[in-house]
Amino acid sequence: MNAFRAAVEADDLEAIGDLLADDVRFTSPVAFRPYEGKPITHAILRAVSQVFQDFRYVREIGSGADLALLFEATVDGKQLTGCDFLHFDDDGLIDDFMVMVRPLSGATALAAAMGARFEQIAAEAAPTA
Protein backbone atom coordinates (compact mmCIF):
# COMPACT_ATOMS: atom_id res chain seq x y z
CA MET A 1 0.00 0.00 0.00
CA ASN A 2 1.22 3.49 -0.85
CA ALA A 3 2.45 5.65 2.08
CA PHE A 4 0.01 8.47 1.25
CA ARG A 5 -2.95 6.10 1.23
CA ALA A 6 -1.79 4.59 4.52
CA ALA A 7 -1.49 8.06 6.10
CA VAL A 8 -4.97 9.07 4.90
CA GLU A 9 -6.55 5.85 6.12
CA ALA A 10 -4.83 6.30 9.50
CA ASP A 11 -6.02 9.96 9.62
CA ASP A 12 -2.38 10.93 10.20
CA LEU A 13 -2.45 14.56 9.06
CA GLU A 14 1.20 15.13 10.01
CA ALA A 15 2.36 12.19 7.88
CA ILE A 16 0.26 13.48 4.98
CA GLY A 17 2.07 16.83 5.21
CA ASP A 18 5.43 15.08 5.33
CA LEU A 19 4.66 13.43 1.98
CA LEU A 20 4.06 16.74 0.16
CA ALA A 21 6.86 18.43 -1.79
CA ASP A 22 7.41 22.10 -0.94
CA ASP A 23 6.41 23.04 -4.50
CA VAL A 24 3.39 20.71 -4.75
CA ARG A 25 0.65 21.79 -7.14
CA PHE A 26 -2.89 20.95 -5.99
CA THR A 27 -5.71 20.95 -8.54
CA SER A 28 -9.11 21.00 -6.87
CA PRO A 29 -12.23 19.55 -8.47
CA VAL A 30 -14.12 22.75 -7.67
CA ALA A 31 -11.61 25.59 -8.16
CA PHE A 32 -10.61 27.14 -11.47
CA ARG A 33 -6.90 27.57 -10.74
CA PRO A 34 -4.52 25.15 -9.05
CA TYR A 35 -3.07 25.95 -5.64
CA GLU A 36 0.70 26.14 -5.39
CA GLY A 37 2.79 25.05 -2.43
CA LYS A 38 2.81 22.80 0.58
CA PRO A 39 1.17 25.15 3.14
CA ILE A 40 -2.06 25.68 1.17
CA THR A 41 -2.22 22.08 -0.03
CA HIS A 42 -1.79 20.71 3.48
CA ALA A 43 -4.42 23.14 4.83
CA ILE A 44 -6.87 22.05 2.12
CA LEU A 45 -6.27 18.37 2.90
CA ARG A 46 -6.83 18.99 6.62
CA ALA A 47 -10.16 20.67 5.83
CA VAL A 48 -11.18 17.88 3.45
CA SER A 49 -10.59 15.35 6.22
CA GLN A 50 -13.27 17.18 8.22
CA VAL A 51 -15.70 17.56 5.30
CA PHE A 52 -15.67 13.98 4.01
CA GLN A 53 -17.73 11.47 5.95
CA ASP A 54 -17.41 7.71 5.46
CA PHE A 55 -14.30 8.25 3.34
CA ARG A 56 -12.68 5.12 1.94
CA TYR A 57 -10.29 4.27 -0.85
CA VAL A 58 -11.70 1.53 -3.06
CA ARG A 59 -8.95 1.05 -5.64
CA GLU A 60 -5.29 1.88 -6.23
CA ILE A 61 -4.05 2.05 -9.83
CA GLY A 62 -0.48 2.59 -10.98
CA SER A 63 2.98 2.43 -9.56
CA GLY A 64 6.22 4.34 -9.64
CA ALA A 65 5.86 8.07 -10.16
CA ASP A 66 2.13 8.04 -10.95
CA LEU A 67 -0.70 6.75 -8.80
CA ALA A 68 -4.50 6.99 -8.95
CA LEU A 69 -6.50 6.35 -5.78
CA LEU A 70 -10.25 5.94 -6.30
CA PHE A 71 -12.41 6.84 -3.32
CA GLU A 72 -15.97 7.09 -2.09
CA ALA A 73 -17.28 9.53 0.52
CA THR A 74 -20.30 11.50 1.63
CA VAL A 75 -20.55 15.29 1.97
CA ASP A 76 -23.68 16.77 3.56
CA GLY A 77 -25.64 13.63 2.74
CA LYS A 78 -24.50 13.55 -0.90
CA GLN A 79 -22.54 10.50 -1.98
CA LEU A 80 -19.62 11.03 -4.27
CA THR A 81 -16.96 9.06 -6.04
CA GLY A 82 -13.59 10.56 -6.75
CA CYS A 83 -10.01 9.99 -7.66
CA ASP A 84 -6.76 11.39 -6.29
CA PHE A 85 -4.18 11.53 -9.09
CA LEU A 86 -0.72 11.74 -7.53
CA HIS A 87 2.68 12.32 -9.11
CA PHE A 88 5.82 11.72 -7.07
CA ASP A 89 9.13 13.53 -7.57
CA ASP A 90 12.56 11.87 -7.47
CA ASP A 91 12.56 12.11 -3.66
CA GLY A 92 9.25 10.23 -3.40
CA LEU A 93 7.27 13.34 -2.44
CA ILE A 94 3.99 14.36 -4.04
CA ASP A 95 4.65 17.25 -6.41
CA ASP A 96 1.36 17.12 -8.32
CA PHE A 97 -2.00 16.30 -6.74
CA MET A 98 -5.21 16.47 -8.77
CA VAL A 99 -8.65 15.50 -7.47
CA MET A 100 -11.71 14.75 -9.56
CA VAL A 101 -15.19 13.97 -8.19
CA ARG A 102 -18.61 13.00 -9.48
CA PRO A 103 -21.60 13.35 -9.64
CA LEU A 104 -22.36 17.05 -9.87
CA SER A 105 -24.50 16.95 -6.72
CA GLY A 106 -21.51 15.61 -4.76
CA ALA A 107 -19.13 18.14 -6.31
CA THR A 108 -21.57 20.95 -5.48
CA ALA A 109 -21.85 19.81 -1.86
CA LEU A 110 -18.05 19.60 -1.65
CA ALA A 111 -17.65 23.09 -3.12
CA ALA A 112 -20.11 24.55 -0.61
CA ALA A 113 -18.53 22.79 2.38
CA MET A 114 -14.99 23.77 1.41
CA GLY A 115 -16.04 27.31 0.49
CA ALA A 116 -17.44 27.75 3.99
CA ARG A 117 -14.02 26.83 5.40
CA PHE A 118 -11.82 28.69 2.94
CA GLU A 119 -11.11 31.66 5.19
CA GLN A 120 -9.80 29.26 7.83
CA ILE A 121 -7.83 27.31 5.20
CA ALA A 122 -6.16 30.49 3.94
CA ALA A 123 -5.33 31.59 7.49
CA GLU A 124 -3.73 28.20 8.27
CA ALA A 125 -1.64 28.40 5.09
CA ALA A 126 -0.47 31.97 5.65
CA PRO A 127 3.17 32.36 6.65
CA THR A 128 3.73 33.24 10.28
CA ALA A 129 5.68 36.40 11.03
Query: Per residue in 10-64, pLDDT tens?
Result: 999 999 999 999 999 999 998 889 999 999 999 999 999 999 999 999 999 998 8
CA distances from 5 to 12, 71, 74, 105 (A): 10, 11, 18, 25
2 falls in which pLDDT band (50, 70, 90)? confident
Residue 29 to residues 33, 80, 108, Cα–Cα distance (Å): 10, 12, 10
Bridge-based pairing of strands 94-102 and 20-27 is: parallel
Does residue 103 have a cis peptide bond before it, meaning omega lies within 30 degrees of 0? yes
Residue 116 to residues 47, 86, 120, Cα–Cα distance (Å): 10, 26, 9
Torsion sign, CA atoms 37, 38, 39, 45? positive
pTM (predicted TM-score): 0.92
Please report the domains of the chain, with CATH numbers, ordered by start residue. 3-123 (3.10.450.50)
4-18, 62-76, 114-128: the lowest-pLDDT one: 114-128
Helix, coil or strand: residue 108: helix
